[in-house]
Amino acid sequence: MSSPEKHTTERITWIKPWTPHLFSFRCTRSPGYRFTAGQWARLGVLKDGADKPVWRAYSMVSAPHDEFLEFYSIVVPGGEFTSELARLQVGDSLLVDKTNFGFLTTDRFEGGSDLWLLSTGTGIAPFISILHDPAVWERFARIVLVHSVREAAELAYQDTIEALKTHEFFGEFAQKLTYVRTVTREAVPGCLAGRITSLIPSGELEAAAGLKFSTEASRVMICGNPQMVEDTREVLGQLGLKTSRRGAPGQLALENYW
């Protein structure tokens, strides 16, 4: 007897281009698919003439209670997966592994009153999902979302973040959220200039957030390219913050978004 399929076939329902190289998309969601805010899915596309699909990891932008799955993607020129994904249109099919993955979730932490969400590029994706989890707003006294990009056009989801302030549920907690944008390759009013790894030791990030990093209060989630994640972990380590591990809770949770 053949084993049941380990994936479902979903249909793309919505596509939003942000820049020529960045776009978001939604697909249908199997009623049996469950995940925790901050986790990622394995998505598969089948290239013309190929026998097997190509799979890649994508964090969910959508909330666990949404009836759809939403993802945020970069187009890698000549990329085996993203080039195929970028060619898909509304109505086309996409494979979704039935299993959810990842540990960039707030249950990694014990204690703490301040939640820092540090992201670069498409690494903001899981944090949008996390910000739609009511339990996060009830648990933390302060939430700081930091999004670092090269150019202002890459500051995706600004409207979504601002809409939280007037949301029927999250609006009452709006004062808890501080949204810090940093752009590294052009000067943009209202945005910091520089990389997260420079803004932390200089004190500029803390000043913009109106909040200090501390081992007692701070719980920090980091998502971006591997070098950014490692460099940020090292910088925060100099402040005494340690990675949270099974059996040894700490202050940091990491995800290499690559």
Q: Residues 52-88: pLDDT tens digits?
A: 899 999 999 999 999 999 999 999 888 888 888 889 9
Confidence of residue 3 (pLDDT cuts 50, 70, 90): very low
19-to-13, 72, 152, 239 alpha-carbon distances in Å: 19, 12, 10, 36
Average pLDDT, the chain: 93
pLDDT score of 139: 95
- Residue 19 parent element (H or E): strand 7-19
pLDDT by residue (tens digit) across 198-218? 999 999 999 999 999 999 999
Q: Do residues 132 and 164 share a domain?
A: yes
Flag whether 227 is in a domain: yes
Q: Do residues 163 and 250 share a domain?
A: yes
Q: Do residues 130 and 249 share a domain?
A: yes
The domain of 73 spans: 7-97
Q: Do residues 167 and 44 share a domain?
A: no
Residue 174 reports pLDDT greater than 90:
no
pLDDT score of 1: 35
Residues 114-132, mean pLDDT to the nearest whole number: 97
For residue 249, the one-letter residue type is P
Q: Do residues 234 and 113 share a domain?
A: yes
Helix ranges (DSSP H) in 195-238: 196-202, 204-209, 226-237
Cα–Cα distance, 32 to 215 (Å, whole number): 39
Q: How many domains does the chain have?
A: 2
Flag whether 2 is in a domain: no
Cα–Cα distance, 96 to 80 (Å, whole number): 17
Q: Do residues 45 and 172 share a domain?
A: no
Kindly report the three-state secondary structure assignment for every residue of 48-110.
CCCCCCEEEEEECCCCCCCCEEEEEEECCCCCCCHHHHHHCCCCCEEEEECCCECCCCHHHCC
Q: Of the candidates 70, 78, 75, which has an alpha carbon nearest to the alpha carbon of residue 29?
A: 70
Cα–Cα distance, 142 to 119 (Å, whole number): 17
Residues 133-158, mean pLDDT to the nearest whole number: 96
Q: Please give the distance of CA 124 from its chain centroid, rounded to a whole number.
A: 4
pLDDT by residue (tens digit) across 7-50? 999 999 999 999 999 999 999 999 999 999 999 999 999 877 67
Flag whether 113 is in a domain: yes
Residue 255 reports pLDDT greater than 60:
yes
Cα–Cα distance, 60 to 122 (Å, whole number): 11
* pLDDT cut 70: percent of the chain above it: 97
pLDDT score of 257: 57
Residue 2 reports pLDDT greater than 70:
no
Cα–Cα distance, 144 to 146 (Å, whole number): 6
Residue 258 reports pLDDT greater than 60:
no
